Each structure stands twice: as structure tokens, then as C-alpha cells.
Amino acid sequence: METSIAAIPNIKISLVEVYERCQARETTCKALEAQCNQRNAQTTLQFESDKTTSNAIVQRLSTIERSVQEMQQSIVGLKACVRENKKRMHDLSDSICSASQNVSQHSTSVLPHEEFVAMERRLVSLKGKISRILRKNIDVDLPEEQITTLYKKKLPILEQHTKEASGTIGKYSNQPGKNERIARSIYSTLAEADAWSDLLNGKYDDLKIIELDASDRLPEELTPFSPTGVQNVFEFLNDFNRTYKGRGTDQNKASKLWRSLLSNEVKIDTDQIKNNLGQLMDHLIENYGDIDTVTDAILRDIEGTPRPEETDYKRLFAYVKKLMNALKRLRDIPKNTQIVSEVWESSVLSAKFMKRLSSLLTPTDDSKFSDELRSKGLNSRKARGQGALDALIKTVNRSIDNAARLVDRDTSQSTKKERPRKTVHLVDEYDSDSSVETKAYVNNASVQPPVSTARKPCGLRGHTHEMGQCDDFLSITPVKRRQMTEDRLCWTCLGPRARCRVRQNTSEGSSCSNLSAVNKILLCKACTEYGKKNSKAYSPCNILMCSMKSHISDHPSLDKMLPSLIKLIPDLDPEKIKIQTASIQVNVVQQQSSAYKIVKERKLENTTGRKLNKAEPVTVDSSSGEIRKVSNEQITHETREASIFIMQVLKIGQTEALTMFDTGANIHLIQGKLGEDENLELISSKPTTLTVVGGGAIETEYGVFRFFLGPTPEGTFKEIIAQGIPSVTGHFSHADLSIVNNELVNRDIRFASEPLPERVGGKKAQLLLGIRDPSLHPTPLFQLPSGIGVYCSPFKDIFGSTICYGGPHYTFNPGADASTMVMFAQMVSQY
């Protein structure tokens, strides 16, 4: 029966469903057979161990025999279902074969006998390769390591084989001499491969596996654990698990934990179990998770802080905030640790421990604490129990509000008297490197800032000029900008801090009164979300002041922020500003399809304020500069299609690295993470600064890597010395090269037998080869009629091809992200 082409997708879906049912039932069969064997073994052992014929034993053996018979009947039924489903798979494969024969509406050319035989042999070979991969049963629980290995090593090979088989079987099915049995088996195998791939992809996605950074650099939210630190073991492990949840295997995590996050003292004790994550964590909890060690860690910071004079409101405020943080952590021990409530109560709520806590109070607060206890009918001399802890927290909370009020009063009085202010500027900032949520930074009272008449005065000490014209302020990193403007500048509106901060009715800090006047595009989204999530009253950071590297990906580009920045900062010089954004890491040149649209539609838009020149285009002699008149036949027009850069996908270690050849760069660049993941030689660990086209600067954060790439056609390997950098380029759109390859073969039939690249792009470039060694760059061969250039590279890509393309083609995505490019003018610090 003929099958329509439209039915093919549904038939393939049915094939996948039938295959999955077969897999499930075969697994059940195996499990039942195993149980049968186990029951039979039990029966045999029973007979051998006890020869008596008591009624109890006979009854038990009869029960086992009946159970075995029932299982055997179930196995027979399941095997019948499997046979039925496999028959259905063959029938569906026949339907696909039938439908495939109707794909071509025109007569198909018959291949020469030698080519037909070679095609058939290739199909049989591909089927064997695919079947060998599919032997691995993934319809069971597999360890993370096996899923990762299958996904990274086997799945790409399987996809390559199935893609080739799918293309070949279509041609084979249209040949008059085809073998129906071979065609059916290929279609059946491809259906099994699709189902296997979908199942593996699902398992890998469920794991949410992300490779661990192999370097010793720590995430900003983690602090190494030490028995003498201010973070207890449960807080440390909670931070570790939250940071590395779903990232890498347990062995990866254990290695990261032991190598980078434990003090030397702990490393010595755990050297024998450093590769076992479970044993490492158990050891830490067993040795440092008792109630005394945990409470000592929580109180270590506050007990090491000198108790301030009660008249020093600034220091008093910082002190009581720190004390409150410690009390909250003590209160939440049963919720955040494995310490049971009974143990916590016997320790933290004991009279001895309460005396230890009350000794941290100022004399005034100690007196108020006693009054609070008596008002609740509790013993003020031997305070104990939950009521005493609640009274202590209430007393310290009131002390925070009182200290904050006194600080604001002094600040207000100092402002009214118009004298140099001895202000305290309260900065409530979450610090992920510390268990303390908030800090109070106190300005040195002896430092008196000069008076400034600027509209937006610079926040650096001793600077009275406009912020927008300050080279020092604009060119430093956000981290240094925060350090140098602490207590002086509002990190939200960038105005003088004393003028804009407004106290809230809570103990959670202050906010900016000018918040509504700051465009939301200038406020860090991640900081904003953190404040809302944790009910913090402080204002979010301006992007110019945000130093959190984990927030960079959410920051908009400088181009998008510039109009709002100019409104916020008068006289701003955009060329001087330095911001941590994802796009500021590279200097980009983007294709703009709108320019071609203007040419096509002959529309002129004036967005620059300059006078538009509506004259006809001129023809210029490049040697003499003479304006010439030529005929239309002598004119060749530029293509209007999107273009790609000359790139290849090269294999570096286990990484398929998108490699870009850039004659505009005088050095080689490599993504630092790639260099570390593949353990490339690091010949200099010192980061440097790169100056890019336009005058900006980039801090590389990585050192210099070296490796040898090849072989070239001459059999040599080229030395590559590349500067490590967090991000080499922006994202390139995926480009399918199948149509371009067909054009190449039509242009020159000799390429039909050569391997050709199947794709390029689809990710950021991880390696950029500059003009330092011109022999590394592809040489041009010719240009195809569609406009794209064909080049020959000295390196073979992952497809085994030295051919690469560059230029325009109608199949390429015209999106702006398809042309992100880096061009470095010079290196400031030579390596």
C-alpha cells in the first residue's frame, strides 16, 4: 500500500513509541527472569539444607513453585508483546520505505553499479556502527559519570552516523536495484537511534550538568572553611551545595572542595578521602558539626570585636548590627543544621550560654535586657530558655533602632551648622564572602572632604570637579570605585551620600531618596532582585558601582545605557567610562542589515544632525583619485546578504572550539576557561590589560597559554601563544553549510570526494588567531557565484576538512549577533 509523504513524521513518532515500549518490556522480562532464577535457587537450597518433609516446608515450597510459574507465564506474555511490537516496527519501517519512494516526483538518475554497491556497503557499515552504540542500555538508572561520558563522547558520534545514514538511505531508496531488507533495517535502526538520543538528552538535561571550573579561582559567594573561621561547617556546606548544585560529578565536587575550599589543617586530616564527596562531608560534620564548635564559630567575630563606648554612635551601630546577626544565626541553628532541637536547647538556651551572650551587651542594653526579662516574669539573674533568647533579640533590635536614630540626628545637626561633617554613612550591602549580612562602614572623622560646587561632584577624596570629567573615577573598575568612594558617594544615584539617604522604619539600613529619578536601565537587576527576595530596605546598586562578577551577564551594553548615563552624569565623557558588562569585554563591530535596506529602498534618514548628501554616487579611480564616468556594465554591486567570518571548528582536547581567523588582531586570544579545562601550558599567570579599538581597555583576568596546533599539510605543528581572556567574542549565529557545500561541488566536481565542513558558528569563538603568524590563516581559493569566498586552511577541522568559507550567502541568518568581532590595537603589558 502506498503511503503519503505527510504521514512520515507520524510514522517516525510511532516507531519511537514502539521502540520505547520494547525497551521497557525487555527490561521487565530480564527482571522477572532474574527473580525466577532467584526463587529456583532458593528452592534448591531449601531441599539441600533440610531433607525433612514437614508440612510447613512442603507448603512453603509449593508457594515458591506457584510464584515461579506465575512469573514464567508473565515472561511468556511479555515476550509475545515484544515480538508483536518488533513486528510493528518492521511494518512501520516498510511504510517509511514506501513513503520515501514517493518523495521524488521526477525521475531519479540511476547510479553506476560501482557507486551503488559502495553506497550499499556504506549503509551496512553505518548500521553496524550505530547498533554498537545502541547496545548500551540507558533505560536504567546510570551514574552521572556514565551519562556524561555517553552524552559527550558517544552521542556526537551517533548523530554524525545517523545524519550520514539518513542522507544516504534517501538516495538508496530511489535506486531500482535497492535491497528492501537493508532499507527496512536502516530505517528501523534510525528510529531506535532517535529514541535512544532523546532518552539520553533527557537524562543529561535532568542532571543539569555544567562543567566545574578546573581552576583554583573561587566563586565570589564561597569562603574556604577553617576551624578557626567565622563560618560554621553547616553554613559552609550549605553555600557549597547551593553553588555547585548540578555542576559536575561527585568526584569533581570532592576535588574542588578539598583542593580549593579547605584550610591546610583540614586537608591534612582528609587527604585519604579527598576524592570521595560523601566521606569528606561526613568528616567535616563529624569533627566540626557539634553544638560547641558551631556556636563558637558564630560568636567568634562579635567576641573579637571591642565593645564601643555608648557615646560613639557610629561604632555602636555597627557593633549592635553584628551582634544581631550572630543572635539570628544562633536562633536558626535547628533549622539550618543537623543539630537536633534538644541539643540546641540544652546548650544555647542554658543559663551559662545566656550569660555569655548577655556579656556582649553594653551596660545600658544589659539593664534593658534585665527589665525585659522581669516584664515577662523571667529570672533576670539566671536567664534561660526560649523566652530569654527572644527578650535578648528584642533588646538588641531596639538598640539598633536607637543607635540609627542618634547617628541620623548627629548627621542632620552637622549639615545644619554647615561645618565639615563627621558623618557616618551606613552601607547595607550583602557580602557573599561572609556570613554577616550587613556591614557598617565608618568614615574617618579626621578626614574633612573639600566643599564642591559641581552639579555631580566626583566621589573621590580631594576631588571637587565634575564626576563626568574625572579620568580617575571613570577609568577604574567598579571594585576600586566602591573602595575609593566608601561613605562618600551614594551607590544608587551617584550623588553625595549625606544628601540622599533616607532611614527606613526597620533595622535593615537606608535607601536613596533619588531612586525614582534614576533610569531602571542603570540599576543592577540582580542587586534589585536580591533586595526584594530578602526584604532589604536599601536601594539597588548603580551598574557603575556593581562589583559582583556573577551579575555581569545581566548588565546591558554601554551603548544602551549611554543616553541615561549622560542625563545622570552631566558632561560625561563616554570614551573614559569603564563598566563591568558582558559586552564591554570585547570591542564589537556589527553588521547592520538596515544599511542595506536603506540602499534598496532609497530612504535617507537623518539621525546625526549632519546635512544629508542626496547626490548620485560617484565612481573613483583608486590610483589617481579621479572622479570618472563609467557605463553600468562596468559596475558590480555589493551583495545584500548576511555574511560570516572565516571560521573553523577545531578540536582542542575534548572541546570543539570555534576558531576565528582575524587579520585585525596582532595577537592570538583564547578563552581562559578553555585553556584551564584542557590543561594547556601556562607560560605566564599574570593577567594583563588590552587596549581595544576606540580607546577602551580590557583586563584579561587570565595569563598566557601555549600549545602546538596541527598537523599542517607539511606535517608540522604550529606554536600558538595566546593571551587568555574571559570572552573572546560575542555569539555567532549557527550557519548550516550544506547548501554552500553543494554549490562548491557543482563549481568543482573534485570536491565531491573531499570532506567538507557541515556547520560553523552557533556559539562564541573560543580561539582567535591574529596576524602575528600569517601562515596560520586560510588562503583564498576562489569565489562562488553566490558571493561567498572559499578558503583553504592549514588545519583540519572536526569534519576532517581544510575548506572554510567567508563572506555573504543568502542562507545565513542576518541577525546582528552573527558578526561580533574583536580587533585589538595593541597590548599594554607585553608578556
Q: How far is the C-alpha of 656 from the C-alpha of 653, rounded, in Å?
A: 8
Q: How far is the C-alpha of 711 from the C-alpha of 426, rounded, in Å?
A: 61
Tell me, what DSSP letter sits at residue 819? Answer: G
The whole-number pLDDT of residue 357 equals 92
Parallel/antiparallel/unpaired status of strands 501-503 and 510-512: antiparallel
The answer for 330, left when phi > 0, alpha when psi is -120 to 50, beta otherwise, is alpha
The whole-number pLDDT of residue 449 equals 42
Q: How far is the C-alpha of 577 from the C-alpha of 477, rounded, in Å?
A: 9
The whole-number pLDDT of residue 694 equals 47
Q: How far is the C-alpha of 786 from the C-alpha of 809, rounded, in Å?
A: 6
Residues 756-782 pLDDT 10s: 999 999 899 999 999 888 899 999 999
In degrees, to the nearest 5, what angle opens at C-alpha 327 toward C-alphas 403 and 357?
90
Cell for 18? 514502539
Residues 484-510 pLDDT 10s: 887 788 888 888 887 776 644 444 556
Q: Which residues contact 8 (CB under 8 A, 6 or more apart)?
A: 96, 99, 100
Element holding 660 (H helix, E strand): strand 655-661
| Cα-based distances in Å from 827 to 44, 661, 722, 772, 775 | 81, 18, 12, 13, 22
Cell for 10? 507520524
How far does the chain reach from its first CA to its final CA, in angstroms? 73
| Cα-based distances in Å from 90 to 135, 406, 477, 645 | 19, 85, 66, 46
**Contact by Cβ (8 Å): 667, 723:** yes
The whole-number pLDDT of residue 831 equals 34
Task: Give mean pLDDT in consecutive 10-residue pieces for the chain, a chain of 831 residues.
Answer: 46 58 67 68 58 56 70 70 66 60 53 87 90 83 78 89 89 85 88 86 65 49 80 88 75 83 85 88 91 92 86 86 91 87 91 91 90 88 90 92 79 52 35 33 37 72 80 80 82 82 52 84 85 75 82 76 83 67 39 44 50 68 86 79 91 94 88 92 79 58 91 91 89 89 90 92 92 91 91 95 92 52 38 34
User: What's the pTM?
Assistant: 0.34
**Contact by Cβ (8 Å): 336, 238:** yes
Count CA atoms closer than 13 A to 512's CA, side-chain side.
20
Handedness of CA 75, 80, 83, 89 (dihedral sign): negative
In degrees, to the nearest 5, what angle opens at C-alpha 313 toward C-alphas 309 and 314?
110
The whole-number pLDDT of residue 21 equals 65
The whole-number pLDDT of residue 806 equals 94
User: pLDDT above 90 covers what percent of the chain?
Assistant: 20
Q: How far is the C-alpha of 2 from the C-alpha of 102, rounded, in Å?
A: 8
In three state form, how does the secondary structure of 21-86 look?
HHHHHHHHHHHHHHHHHHHHHHHHHHHHHCCCCCHHHHHHHHHHHHHHHHHHHHHHHHHHHHHHHH
Q: Which residues contact 464 (CB under 8 A, 6 or more apart)?
A: 450, 451, 452, 453, 454, 457, 458
The whole-number pLDDT of residue 504 equals 46
